[in-house]
A and B are shown apart, each in its own frame.
Chain A
Amino acid sequence: MIMGPIRRAIDRFRGAGSAAITLPPMDGAIRPNQAIEVATLVLEIEAPDNLVFDGRNIFFSNGAAVLSFDPAATTPRPETIATFDHPVTCLAASAEGTVIAGLNDGAILFAAGPRKGQRLAEVGAKPSCPTALLIDGGTLIVCHGSRQNAPLNWKHDLMQLNASGSVWRIDLAGGAPTCLADGLAFPYGLAADSAREIAISESWRHRVVSARSSDTPLLDNLPGYPARLAPAVGGGYWLCVFAPRSRLVEFVLHERDFCADMFREVEPDYWIAPSLTSGRSFLEPLQGGAIKQLGILKPWAPSRSYGLLIRLDAKFLPVASYHSRADGVRHGLTSCVDLGDRVLVASKGGNAIIALDAAAQAGDAP
Chain B
Amino acid sequence: MATRLRPPLLDWPMLCAAGMLLLIGLATVYSATTVPGAHQGLWTKQLVWLVLALGAAWVAARFHYRAHDPLAYPLYGLSLVLLVLVLAVGTSAFGAQRWLDLGPVRFQPSEIAKIATVFVLARRLSHPQLDLTRFRYWFPPLLIALVPFALVAKEPDLGTSLAFPVILIAMYYWAGMPVGNLLLGLSPAATLVVAFVLSPRQAPFWVLVGVALVGLLAVLRPRRLLLVTALVLNVGVGLAMPRVKDHLHDYQLRRIETFLNPDQDPQGAGYQIIQSRIAIGSGGLLGKGWLKGTQKALSFLPMRHTDFIFAVLGEERGLIGALTVVLLYGLIILRGYRLAAVARNGFASLMAVGLVSGLFYHVVVNILMTIGWAPVTGLPLPLLSYGGTALIVNCVQLGLLQNVALRRQEY
Pair from one complex: no
Interface residues of B (CB under 8 A from A): none
